[in-house]
Amino acid sequence: MKKIYSLFSLFLLVTLGYGQNKQTEKADKLYQGYQYVDAIDAYLEVVDDNEADAYVYKQLADSYYHLFNIKEASIWYKKALETTQDAETYFRYAQVLKSEGKYDQANAQMDKFAELAPNDQRAKAHLANPNYIPELADITKTFEVEGVSINDEAQSDFGAVLSNDNILYFVSTRKTSGKEDAWTNQPYLDIYQSTRDENGDLSAPEEVSELNTIYHDGPLTISADGKTMYFSRDGHSDGTFKKLKSKRVKVAQQGIYKATLVDGKWGNIEALPINSIDYTVSHPSISSDGKTLYFASNMPNGLGDSDIWKISINGNSYGDPVNLGPKVNTSGKEGFPYISEDNILYFASSGRQGFGGLDIFKYDLKINETSVNLGNAINTTRDDFAFSVNTTLKIGYFTSNKTGVDQIYQAIPICQFKAIALVKDQITNTILSGAQVTISDAQLNEIAAQATDIKGNTSFNVGCENTYTINVSMDGYETASFKVAASEGEDVTVHADLKPINEMITETEVKLNNIYFEFNKSNITNQGALELDKLVEIMKDYPEMKIMVRSHTDSKGQADYNLKLSERRAQSTMQYVISKGISKDRLSAKGMGATAPKIDCKSNCTEDEDAQNRRSEFLIVKG
């Protein structure tokens, strides 16, 4: 019975294969001749006759793929892959999904591709970093989070600040042998320090004994030169408190104190004039120039339970407190401010929409926009607070009680910058709003697309360790591409000046930028499609115009191979234009191989000269 069943299955497969070939013979010949537009029509006839199967769906998808018709290719690949296909089909579908911005679905297809072709370099690259495109586009994740070795798992550790000489200061309740806070029945806070070595490892914490009292001390902030410290301290230590006779207790507020480093020890401790026995002044953070001190307080005229304030500092003179207003403060609690060297204010808030408890936010003082949540890479459903970052040493720290105890974590900045495009008319210098701008990574994967605003601007947040290409297109103008080099965090502005499209027409040809193809491939790419769309618009504007497409290769490889490759590329180019509504009678194609180089460098061509020789020309055929 088993043998009979196997033979019957084989007979069905053979019969179906033969029927498929008869049904698609015409379409297959068109496809094999790179006549993708006509091939699509022929395959669709099979679909309309209800005789299509996975093979037809795949051929349709591949035809649309070669024409860079992403929408239709996606439809037919999805149908084709209801049946198991070869590895390349999964790869192409993944590329289509990426172009649609469906990165998770694309990764699923790349996983299948990697299973079928594990030795393929594309599969290896995917497995090494499957989520690199979402990471480039993810503007909320700006830090990688790791634990640190100095935490006491049973006691609170928080408020870590790293000085420029690699001393990490923080506060802790780990000194259990001392006096306890009557309000919390927990040890009082003390200031500790740990040295960070060149590998980022931290030494065993040591108490900064000259700053600590039997009451609360800390948190703190350190000046850029490491010689001045501002820190919080309980008013009990210097006798500034209120007596509540009814309860026979002494109520002290937190105040801010200044200390200076003398011969390696902290001394010259003095209280700031903003301290009060009526309200708390705490959580100090000094600006890098030492002229502004930010702090948290529940002093009168605030917006909520506690607010972020600032005062100016000029030597030993201090200005009046200034509330930072509703772009930072809310009716809830704001605290733990930290001002970075690049004027980003980080703070904790319970009054803004977050993940739960205290969340950490940032406020860019340079642009004066609303505060932004740091996202779930940092924030959790518990309290997250006391964020600091040393931009010089490229390391940050924050505190979270996500384990049930306040613990310090390090936050490693993910380097990002803004790639800004400013689009103008090259001739008149007029700002061009509504221009379509896309940005692609070094592998030509499109990351994002958007239009320019009324000022001709658009920008993309991208990672530093990559190079990018910005493509700009607009009706009536030549599409242009601009390279964006890797950055160390500085924003990069590209001045994208577009040529009016009528300057592309000469007496003999339509001048387009090179139509680039993937190595050893002939399908139209995103960049090629953008360029050929200009030719389509010109031919629609000039209905009598006829074009011969001539494609050239560089001199590498055998002459007969180069000739065939250039013929395929010329045909693909022509087929794309036909697919956009241009009559096939107005187009012809010819592959030239390496017989007519633009630069006659023979076998000594540089990479740039080879690139210039790999080109397509669009000659105007005289009637």
d(CA 166, CA 163): 5
Q: How far is CA 589 from CA 526, 544, 548, 586, in A?
A: 21, 18, 5, 11
Residue 556: both structure tokens together:
């590498």
- Residue 509 CB burial class (10 angstroms; 0-12, 13-18, ≥19): middle
CB 458 within 8 Å of CB 420:
yes
For 105, phi then psi, to 5°, come to -65, -35
Q: Say if strands 317-318 and 307-314 run parallel, antiparallel, or are unpaired.
A: antiparallel
Angle between helices 526-541 and 559-579 (to 10 degrees): 60
Exposure of 408 in the CB half-sphere (CA atoms within 13 A): 27
Instruction: Reduce the DSSP state of residue 320 to 3 states and report it.
Output: coil
Q: Are 173 and 155 in contact (CB under 8 A)?
A: yes
Q: What is the dihedral of CA 448, 452, 458, 462, to 10 degrees?
A: 10
Please answer whether residues 594 and 552 qualify as being in contact, where contact means their C-beta atoms are separated by less than 8 angstroms: yes
Rounded Cα gap, residues 445 and 98, in angstroms: 8
Nearest C-alpha neighbor of 519 from the set 599, 610, 605: 610
Phi, psi of 111 (to 5 degrees): -60, -40
pLDDT digits (tens, 9 = 90+) for 119-162: 887 788 778 878 755 443 444 567 889 999 999 989 999 999 99
Chain-centroid distance, C-alpha 509: 40
The torsion region of residue 430 among left (phi > 0), alpha (psi -120 to 50) and beta comes to beta
Cα separations in angstroms, 199 against 117, 195, 196, 393, 488: 39, 11, 8, 12, 21
10-residue mean pLDDT profile of the chain (623 residues): values are: 32 38 82 84 91 92 83 93 92 80 83 90 78 49 88 93 96 84 75 94 95 92 96 78 59 87 93 92 96 96 92 95 93 91 93 74 89 83 90 93 91 88 84 92 83 92 86 88 86 90 78 77 84 89 88 86 90 93 93 89 84 84 67
Overall residue count recorded for the chain in this entry: 623
| The pLDDT value given to residue 250 | 64
Give the span between the Cα atoms of 347 and 359, in whole angstroms. Answer: 8
Note the pLDDT of residue 398: 97
Q: What is the pLDDT of residue 253?
A: 82
Contact 321, 310 (CB under 8 A): yes
Q: From residue 420, how far is each of 201, 458, 483 by CA, in Å? A: 37, 6, 12
